[in-house]
Structure 1
Amino acid sequence: MSYAFLIAAPTSNSGKTTVTLGLMRALMNRGLSVQPFKCGPDYIDPMHHRQVAGRDSYNLDTWMSAEAHVSDLFARQRRTADVAIVEGVMGLFDGAVRDEGSPARLAMLLDIPVVLVINGRSMAYSAAPLLYGLKHFDPRVRIAGAIFNMVSGDNHYAFLRDAAQDAGVTSFGYLQRNERLALTSRHLGLSMPHENGMDELVGEMAGMMAQSIDLDALLGAVAAPETVATMSSPHSPGSLRIAVARDEAFNFMYPANVDALARLGEVTFFSPLADTRLPDADVLWLPGGYPELFADVLSANTSMMQAIRDHVEANKVTIAECGGFMYLSRLLRKDDQTYPMAGIFDVETSFHDARLTLGYRQLNLDGRTFRGHEFHYSTASFGNQRGIAQALTARNQQVEMPVLRYKNCLGSYMHFYCGEPHKMNELLGWLST
C-alpha cells in the first residue's frame, strides 16, 4: 500500500514544519520509508526534511515550473518510498496570485488529500467554522482530516474534537503544548538541521505523536495507488564537467537542478571553505547559503578565489546565486568588519541595514524566460557595473534586484529553478554565447 498526503494550515506559524518532521519520524519508527516534498520555493525546510528522512526533499512549485514537470517529479521521486509527505507553504489557499501555486492547487494537481494543522492555542469550539470553511471553500480539495497543535491537554482537545466533528472533518489527534518545541519551531528557519539538538527534539515529537495521534486512522485516510511517472526516453549522459559548491556556506540548491545538471555531464561537489582549488570543470555553480557566517574563512582562502577568477576569465560558464553572488562580489560587510571576496563583480554586499527581501522572480534574458525566488537579508551597492535585466514579481511588477554578467558569469540574488532539463539547457546555452 502506498500513502501520500499534503500537510497544510490556515496560516503560517501554525506548526506545519514541526508536525511534518514529527510525522516523518513517527512513520519511520513504524518501518515505513518516507519521501519528503516541499510546496513552494523554500530551501530551508527541505534541509530539515532531509535530515529526518534521509532523502532529498524536492520542491513542487507550479509557478516556477510547468504542471507536467511537477506531476512527473512527484511520481518519480515517490516510487521508492512507502509514504510521500508534502509540506505546504503559508495558508492552504495562499498562492503567488490568489491561489495560483497554493498548497490547495498542488493537492488537486497531484490528486492527494490534505491533512490540516490547526493551531489550537486560544481556540476551542470556534475551530468548527474555520474547519468548515477550509473544507467547503473548494470542494475539489480533499480534506482527509486535521491535527490540532499547541493544545493544553485532553480537556482542551475535547472541545476541538467536537468542533471538528460538527464541521464534518475527522480529527486524528493533537500535539500538546510544549514551549521547548514551540521555541524550536520559531527557529527552524534560522538554524541548520544539525544545530540546536533538532534530532533529539524530532524524536520527542514523534514519541508524543505516537501517544496522542491516531496514526492508523491517518494512514487509512491517505492510502492511495501510486501515481505513474512518465518514462522519459533513454539518453546518454552529457560530456560536461560541472562543479557545484556544497558546504556549510553554500547549501541552498534545488535537488531537481542538480538532477538536470547530471543529465548534461558529471557533477562534482566541492567546498569553497575547505578546498584550495576547483575541480576540473566546464561549468561552475555557486548556490546560495550563509557566506556571511563564514566570511572570514572564505576571505582567507585566497587560492580558491583565485581559482574561481581563473575559471571566469577563461570564459567558462559560471552561475552565482544569492550567497554565491555575494561570494563573487568585491566586499562583504558585516558587524563593522569588511571581508574581501572574489571580486568578479564591482559590488559591495552589506548586513549593516539588514532587511528581508523575498518573493518570486522572473527574468527575461534575450528572449528567454527564467523563473525563481529571491530570499536574503543583505543589501548590495554598485560601482561601475550595471544590471543586464529587469526582474519582475509574480504579478509582473518591476522590482530592484541585481542581475549582472561578466564574460560568461551570471550573478544575481535570484535562486534559479531549472529542474526542467530544457530550462537548464537554455540557461547554460545562453551563458555560453
Structure 2
Amino acid sequence: MNKKAQFLIAAPSSGSGKTTITQGLLRYLKNSGLNVQPFKCGPDYLDTKHHAWAAGNVSINLDTFMSSKTHVKDIYNKYSDRAAISVVEGVMGLFDGAKKMEGSSAQIAELLDIPIILVVNAKATAYSVAPLLFGFKNFYPGIKIAGVIFNFVGSESHYQFLKDACEDVGVSPLGYVPKNEKLHLPSRHLGLQVSDVSQYDSIIEEIAKHIAKTVDIDKLIEITTIPFKESQIKSVNTKGKLKISVARDEAFNFTYHENLAALENLGVVTFFSPLKDKQLPPTDLLYFAGGYPELYLEELSSNKSMKNSVKEFCSNGGRTLAECGGMMYLCDSIIDSDSNEFPMVGFLHQKTSMENMKLRLGYRKVHIDEAIFYGHEFHYSHIKNPLKNLAIGEIYSARDKKMDTYLFRKNNTIASYIHFYWGEKNIMDLLF
C-alpha cells in the first residue's frame, strides 16, 4: 500500500487562525514543488477558492451532512490519488457539528482515517494548554491528534511553556507562529474577498514564509505520512446531451466543484456572465449560483438585454435553478443597504433587500413529497412580501426545526436562498 502525507488541520474553536495557517502551508508546500490537494470540511464555498489560489489545485468540499459518507470517502480518494500530499481544513471547532459531532471535522478525520494537526490560539495562555490538549487528545478515541501548531505566540520563551505542555500530554509540538499584525487575510463579506487576487497572492506568500521560520514542516510531513487507500471509483464515459448554462462572474460564483462536475456528466456546460454578456447561450438547463449581486447592482440592472433573455427563458418554461444571489437576480428588484432600489429580471414578482441586514446561517433539509434534498443557507438579505403561493415543500434545520425559508417553483424555475449539494446525484431527478 502506498504512503503519503495526509492530515486535517483543526482547532479547538473558530478564531484560532486555522484558515490563515492552512493557506500558508498550502502555498509553502506548492512552492516546495509538491503536488498538494486541498479539501474543506463543511459547506464553505469561499475557503475552497482560496485553497485553489494557494495550492494551485481545485479544492473539494467534504460534507457528511449534505452527502453520504461513502461519497465523502470516494471523492477524497479520487482527488488525493493524483497528489503527493492531501491537506484538509476543518470547520469551526474540531468537534462542532450540525448535531453534536455529526458533520464535524472530527467525524471526517475518523471517516478518512487521517491524523489531525491542531492549531491552538496561545495568545493568553502558557502551560495551561496542557489540560486542553489532554482533553482533545483523549475525548474521542476514534481520532488521532498527531501534532500541535501554536498561533499568536509572543516569543521563543513563551513557546517553551507550550512545548512542555505538549511533551507532558504526549502530543508532538510542531512549532509556533509569532504574532504579526501585517499578515491578515483580506476581510470577509460572506467570506474571504475574491476581488483582489494579486493582493491576496502577495499576502499568502508572506504568510508561507512567516510560518516556515518557526514551524517544523518536515516533521509535520513525517508524522502524517500514512498508508493511502487508492481510489476504487471507476470512470464512467456516459455523458448526457443537455446544453447547460452556468452563470459565473464576479456577481455569481458560489459553487461546489462536485456540483459542476455532476452537471458536466449531463451534457455540455457553458459559462456566461450576467454582468457582461448580452444574452443567454443556447440552453436546456440554466443554473444561477449565489454570489455577490449586491456589490454589482448597477451593472446587473443596466444589462437589460441579459435580463430580458433570462426572463424570456424562465417564462417559456426553461428549466432553471437559482440559489440565493441567483434567486435575488430573478426577482423584481434588489434594494441595497441604503434603500436604493435596482430593477432586476422581474420573473419572480417579489423584492429582496439588504436593508437591516441579519445573518441567516445553517444546514437545511428540504422535504418535497417523499424526497429529501440537502443544502445550506448563508445570507444577510431578506425577501419583502415573499410569494408564499409559489412555495413548495417543507424546510427544516439540521435539528429538525421547521424553518421559514421558502423554496419557490414557478413554471420550471426552482428558486430559494438554499445552496443545494447534488454532487452524488442527478439534479434532474432531484428538482425537475
For Structure 1 versus Structure 2, the TM-score category normalised by the shorter chain is over 0.9
**Structure 2 match to 1:160:** 162
**Structure 2 match to 1:113:** 115
Match of 2:82 among 48, 71, 80: 80
Match of 2:138 among 136, 152, 156: 136
Q: Distance in 2 between matches of 1:92 and 1:159?
A: 23
- Structure 1 unaligned residues grouped into runs of 5+: none
Q: Distance in 1 between matches of 2:385 and 2:190?
A: 33
**Structure 2 match to 1:408:** 412
SS in 2 for 1:37: strand
Q: Distance in 2 between matches of 1:187 and 1:399?
A: 24
**Structure 2 match to 1:397:** 401
The question of whether the paired residues in 1 share the 8 Å contact of 2:20 and 2:185 is answered with no
What amino acid sits opposite 1:414 in the alignment?
A: I
> Structure 1 segments of 4 or more deviating over 4 A?
182-188
Any idea what the Cα deviations from partners look like across 1:85-119, whole Å, max 9, x if unmatched?
A: 11000100110000011100000100110000000
Q: Distance in 2 between matches of 1:58 and 1:231?
A: 16
For these two proteins, the number of residue pairs brought into alignment is 428
Deviation for aligned residue 1:390: 2.1
The question of whether the paired residues in 2 share the 8 Å contact of 1:259 and 1:419 is answered with yes
Match of 1:47 among 49, 64, 79: 49
Q: Distance in 2 between matches of 1:189 and 1:384?
A: 29
Q: Distance in 2 between matches of 1:279 and 1:188?
A: 29
What amino acid sits opposite 1:88 in the alignment?
A: G
Any idea what the Cα deviations from partners look like across 1:36-90, whole Å, max 9, x if unmatched?
A: 1100011111111111112221110001000000000101011111111110001
Matched, 1:336 2:374: no
- Residues 152-161 or 279-288, more deviating: 152-161
Deviation for aligned residue 1:196: 8.0
- Structure 2 unaligned residues grouped into runs of 5+: none
What amino acid sits opposite 1:376 in the alignment?
A: H
SS in 2 for 1:354: coil
Q: Cα 1:172–1:193, aligned 2, differ >3 Å: closer, same or farther?
A: farther
Q: Distance in 1 between matches of 2:49 and 2:206?
A: 19
- Residues 274-283 or 381-390, more deviating: 381-390
**Structure 1 match to 2:95:** 93
Q: Distance in 2 between matches of 1:243 and 1:119?
A: 44
Matched, 1:252 2:261: no
Q: Distance in 2 between matches of 1:322 and 1:70?
A: 25
Q: Cα 1:223–1:187, aligned 2, differ >3 Å: closer, same or farther?
A: farther
The question of whether the paired residues in 2 share the 8 Å contact of 1:11 and 1:90 is answered with yes
**Structure 1 match to 2:350:** 347
Q: Distance in 1 between matches of 2:332 and 2:58?
A: 33
Any idea what the Cα deviations from partners look like across 1:123-178, whole Å, max 9, x if unmatched?
A: 10111111110000012201110100111121111111111111111111111001
TM-score (norm 2): 0.96
Deviation for aligned residue 1:288: 0.4
TM-score (norm 1): 0.96
Matched, 1:4 2:6: yes
Q: Distance in 2 between matches of 1:420 and 1:190?
A: 27
The question of whether the paired residues in 1 share the 8 Å contact of 2:368 and 2:394 is answered with no
Deviation for aligned residue 1:228: 2.0
The question of whether the paired residues in 2 share the 8 Å contact of 1:272 and 1:298 is answered with yes
Deviation for aligned residue 1:33: 1.2
Q: Distance in 2 between matches of 1:155 and 1:116?
A: 21
The question of whether the paired residues in 2 share the 8 Å contact of 1:17 and 1:185 is answered with no
Any idea what the Cα deviations from partners look like across 1:400-429, whole Å, max 9, x if unmatched?
A: 11211110000000000000134x2422xx
Q: Distance in 2 between matches of 1:71 and 1:194?
A: 34
Q: Distance in 2 between matches of 1:296 and 1:208?
A: 41
The question of whether the paired residues in 2 share the 8 Å contact of 1:346 and 1:385 is answered with no
Q: Distance in 2 between matches of 1:292 and 1:363?
A: 26
Q: Cα 1:115–1:188, aligned 2, differ >3 Å: closer, same or farther?
A: farther
What amino acid sits opposite 1:338 in the alignment?
A: E
Q: How do 1:266-285 and structure 2 match up within 5 A?
A: 266-285=268-287
SS in 1 for 2:25: helix
Any idea what the Cα deviations from partners look like across 1:365-413, whole Å, max 9, x if unmatched?
A: 2322100100000011126553212210001101111211110000000
**Structure 2 match to 1:213:** 215
Any idea what the Cα deviations from partners look like across 1:234-290, whole Å, max 9, x if unmatched?
A: 332110110011111001010000011111111111111110111111000000000
**Structure 2 match to 1:312:** 314
Matched, 1:239 2:241: yes
Matched, 1:377 2:380: yes
**Structure 1 match to 2:128:** 126
What amino acid sits opposite 2:15 in the alignment?
A: N
The question of whether the paired residues in 1 share the 8 Å contact of 2:30 and 2:56 is answered with no
Computed over aligned residues only, the root mean square deviation of the Cα atoms, in angstroms, reads 1.6
Q: Distance in 1 between matches of 2:6 and 2:398?
A: 29
Q: Distance in 2 between matches of 1:425 and 1:58?
A: 22
Matched, 1:359 2:359: no
**Structure 2 match to 1:321:** 323
- Residues 409-418 or 173-182, more deviating: 173-182
Deviation for aligned residue 1:221: 0.8
SS in 2 for 1:421: coil
